[in-house]
Amino acid sequence: MKASLLILGGTADASELAKQACNIPGLEVRVSLAGRTSQPGDISGIVRIGGFGGIDGLITYLRAENIDLLIDATHPFASQISWNAAAAVQKVGIPCLMLVRPQWEKDENDNWVEVESVQTAADILPSFAKRVFLTIGRQQLAPFAHLDNIWFLMRAIDPPSDIPLPQGKLLLARGPFSLEDEKKLLLDYEIDTIVSKNSGGSATYAKIVAARELGIKVVIVQRAAMPAGEKVADVEGAVEWLLNKLKL
């Protein structure tokens, strides 16, 4: 009988892991997406979309689908689902791995202001920023909406739903982004400050390098605490963990 793997997805790493896991003999691969993006792209395995309904809903799903292994490959800022997964696997008693890409480390030439939350970023901006590149996705734009003395260039994959938006311009685009394009964007729009989450990974790192080279300040939102448990930093590590669990 095949072993069943559930990957909690929503990242490029999760999609790559699903692709590689589908090539492992004797493994059935399921991928779960929250359903936030309208065009998630081609994803290998059996894909399901939408929330589970909290910890209890996830427990019910794991039992109903006879899931043997779970890999949480969600974005480092999607912490609710990670805490839910950690609680659910403990209850069901199946092995769980977190695939967490390392965060970006500050270079000596970076001009970073590290903050603990998106709200704190919004609170401090008025004291030094006039033209801001807001690259935190589309879900948490509301805290910036009342900052009337700042012009915002916002970038997201899909348009924001019905929330108050800061004044400025919205760009719809999906990474990866090149250093050259990021520098041009910052110069064209005369950006003096970037607001970014410390997402890690290479797909959106070019803006950090561009800011470094142009001497632009970056307000960088730090990650929240993750649940305890086994963690790897990349897809290769996750595949190795799988092979080990399957004793292949």
- Comparing CB distances to ligand NAP, the nearer of 114 and 213 is 114
C-beta closer to ligand NAP: residue 83 or 131: 83
β-bridge partners, 218: 112, 194
CB 149 within 8 A of CB 202: no
- The correct pick among 23, 80, 167, 244 for binding ligand NAP (CB under 6 A) is 80
**Which of 29, 68, 75, 185 contacts ligand NAP by CB under 6 A?**
75
The vertex-190 CA angle with 184 and 195, nearest 5°, equals: 90
Q: Is the Cβ of residue 18 or residue 210 nearer to ligand NAP in the bound state?
A: 18
DSSP state of 126: G
> For residues 107 and 43, is the Cβ–Cβ distance under 8 A?
no
Residues 21, 29, 34, 150: which binds ligand NAP (CB under 6 A)?
34
Cβ proximity of 44 and 29 under 8 Å? yes
Residue 52 within binding range of ligand NAP, rule CB under 6 A: yes
**Span of 18-26, 48-56, 121-129, 236-244 interacting with ligand NAP by CB under 6 A:** 48-56
Distance of closest approach, residue 19 Cβ to ligand NAP, in angstroms: 17
For residue 68, give the nearest of 97, 98, 99, 41 by alpha carbon.
Answer: 97
Size of interface with ligand NAP, in residues (CB under 6 A): 24
Spatial separation of the C-alpha atoms in residues 33 and 9, rounded to whole Å: 5
- 3-class SS of residue 3: strand
208 near ligand NAP, judged by CB under 6 A: no
> What Rg do the C-alpha atoms of the chain give, in angstroms?
19
Q: Does 226 bind ligand NAP (CB under 6 A)?
A: no
> Helices then strands (H, E): number in the chain?
7, 12
Q: Is 138 in the site for ligand NAP (CB under 6 A)?
A: no
Smaller CB distance to ligand NAP: residue 113 or 157? 157
Token pair, residue 168, equals 């400025």
Q: Is 96 in the site for ligand NAP (CB under 6 A)?
A: no
Cβ distance to ligand NAP smaller for residue 49 or 243: 49
Q: CB nearer to ligand NAP: give 75 or 217.
A: 75
Quote the strand ranges of 136-245, DSSP E. Answer: 151-156, 168-172, 193-197, 217-221, 231-232
Q: What residues form DSSP beta bridges with 232? A: 99
154: contact with ligand NAP by CB under 6 A:
no
Contact call for residue 9 and ligand NAP (CB under 6 A): yes
Interface with ligand NAP (CB under 6 A):
8-11, 32-34, 36, 51-54, 57-58, 74-75, 77-81, 84, 137, 197
